[in-house]
Amino acid sequence: MPTPHQHWLYVWMPLFGAGIWFGTLLAMLITWLAQGRPHYVSQDGSIAYISDVGADILKPLFVTGCVITALSFFLSLAIERWLRHSGRLIADMRRRERVFSCLAILGSFIGGCGLILLSIFDTKRHPTLHRVFLLVFIVGVALSAIFTVVEYRWISHEFVELRKLKRAYIVKGTVATILILLAIAFAIALSQATDVGAVLEWIIAFGYTFYLLTFFYDLRMSKGVSKGDLSRQRLVDMQQRGIPISELTRGHEGDMAPHTNDGNSGGHSHRGGNHAPSITTNDTVGTANGLQYPQQTFAGNDHGTNRYHVNGYA
């Protein structure tokens, strides 16, 4: 069983990328304000765009920040896919979820390439290429976000009792929706209201930090989970044996594990009457998080075998 700190390296990847991106933007904004809001060569309105500041003396910082952020974004999704494949996160139960996960990774790669290239081909020396790569970045990230939210939604639908999964896709979907709407407004304002466009660009850029942070929440759910604990085969086996998935993921991706009053989990406790079930342990399924989970059957007037069904996988 892994220690709680064993997987910290990849868990902190999105947090590192978000910190670098936020720090880069903050340094550029403070520099522009500290210099007395200078009017750059490539600047049209009274408010400088990020690309205007990044095309001047802070270009090395801008390029470095964009490269690290792009790599962190791509690696965060790639790591999430690997963790699901290796059974350290809830596995994809259907092919469609794996397909959307791969599409999300592809979108992050395209968006990351756009981010790196727009910082290299700056708006002062290559204005046309800069706008093309800006569009590539926005579209790539937007598609990646949509594919990721859809994947999480389907996984959450398979395991409705795992509240952390539902929370993950709701937060991610909310942040992504706000950023996409702001990006559409930015595209309109770019030619209609220059200063409004500049303000929107700074807001979107800082908001992208929060989207990156959502992956820290996702990857953190794998801490303390051994390889194969949440594999598809094991989840199917648990469902067939009537063991709630929340038993296996308690303290990680699930937080609704049922408890009996006598300390046993996996059954429901009723006081009085003929509804109190008796529990018979037939065999041991396996070990996860230091706990063994037996197959349990419930006998009583109104109880047969307690089985757990998830969309036909039982």
Is 112 domain-assigned? yes
Q: Is 80 exposed, middle or buried (0-12, 13-18, 19+ CB in 10 A)?
A: buried
In this prediction, residue 64 carries a pLDDT of: 96
Is 119 domain-assigned? yes
CB 222 within 8 A of CB 11: yes
Is 289 domain-assigned? no
DSSP-derived letter for residue 88 is S
Mean pLDDT over 221-247 rounds to 62
Q: Specify the DSSP element, H or E, that contains 299.
A: strand 291-299
**What is the rounded average pLDDT for all residues in the chain?**
75
Interacting residues of 17 by C-beta distance below 8 A, sequence separation 6+: 68, 69, 71, 72, 73, 76, 212
Is 70 domain-assigned? yes
Interacting residues of 275 by C-beta distance below 8 A, sequence separation 6+: 300, 301, 302, 303
Alpha-carbon dihedral angle through residues 238, 243, 247, 252, given to the nearest 10 degrees: 30
Give the model confidence (pLDDT) of 22-35 as tens digits.
Answer: 999 999 999 999 99
In this prediction, residue 232 carries a pLDDT of: 61
Give the model confidence (pLDDT) of 281-303 as tens digits.
Answer: 344 444 443 334 434 333 333 43
In this prediction, residue 298 carries a pLDDT of: 35
Number of domains in the chain: 1
Is 218 domain-assigned? yes
More confident residue, 231 or 57: 57
What is the number of helices (H) and of strands (E) in the chain? Answer: 10, 2
Is 266 domain-assigned? no
Is 225 domain-assigned? yes
Range of the domain at 188: 15-253
Is 290 domain-assigned? no
Residue 106 vs residues 74, 81, 83, 113: alpha-carbon distances, Å: 8, 12, 17, 11
